Structure 1
């Protein structure tokens, strides 16, 4: 089954925080929790957000769904947030911050689409231009025939950056067992070369657990 985002999302940002390790990530998570509760969740155009922790404990991903790109650009100074985290926690804790984002394309929903994800991957891929990004999104759609029935698969939504050179796929699974089975399926391996052919640089593949989720008040 393919679908657009059900919440009317028009744009999504992914703020990637690379830390010095688990203790540093815990400090970043605490700071983000405060920022979400007191500021981010009250911004105009905010729909929802999630905070993810990388499996190795040295990456935190804060992703926000927005009504549209203007809301993301006009009310959410993610660069400033990253700088504030650096200032508050220090370079020893926060080694680097990166921000990517894009408009959602039609995605794939699995049989577990109503369940919260136990595991997610923020797959940031770099392509030459918008045509290559759209071709990569088409590869995801064409793989939907088997993913829509795969046990434990929640969903995957592609996001193409405003300049067309950054493509983010955001697949989710119910748990590690579902992810491992998915990765071991030969149908998944069969599509990897087509993806690699469209890339101009190595991807950033961030496998994460879900730490927190906030939805805008209705």
Structure 2
């Protein structure tokens, strides 16, 4: 009984520590875009800055970063409670990925990344909004942790499954991190250097699992390969 009590106390202590860590990470990630928005809006109000296109684009970028962080937090919360609802329809997988690529190519180029796609033709049943969110999170992860390179997005379609892989020339992950990389708030050791909430890969895992699939990581010939695999159609 004493051993059980001690084990329970240890689990509670770890849970409290995790909550403190999560709150700290969330506060840090929210503070940066909020501070930038506040400063530049104040500058506009006081006439220090002129409402030039470059400044307005910067403000939009910070607002978008806030919106995406809030959405990631919402998705993780829904996943934890089992309340994430999908709006699945039949989609052309290649067309969805091509549409996402058009949205991110300019930002990738600014960060020094190219994009190459090898897309298999085929249709599947999925929530297109959530699927794009998951793939975008993998692309963002590559930009944060990989050196500038040509990112690859590869899709495969079989009779039963579809697979979406995002491939980069990142530094790879040690086995100890790779085993837990898809848990919320898990990041590499250089957390002070790399931005990011540590939510992205957890969101990817949750969206994949909500579709009845999974996400995996592998290090192959100097390449980091993140792959979402899911049924082509939901089981009945």
Q: Same fold (TM over 0.5)?
A: no
**Normalization by structure 1: what TM-score?**
0.30
Higher helix share: 2
Higher strand share: 1
Identify the structure with bigger relative contact order (alpha carbons < 8 Å, sequence gap 6+). 1
Bigger Cα Rg? 2
**Normalization by structure 2: what TM-score?**
0.28
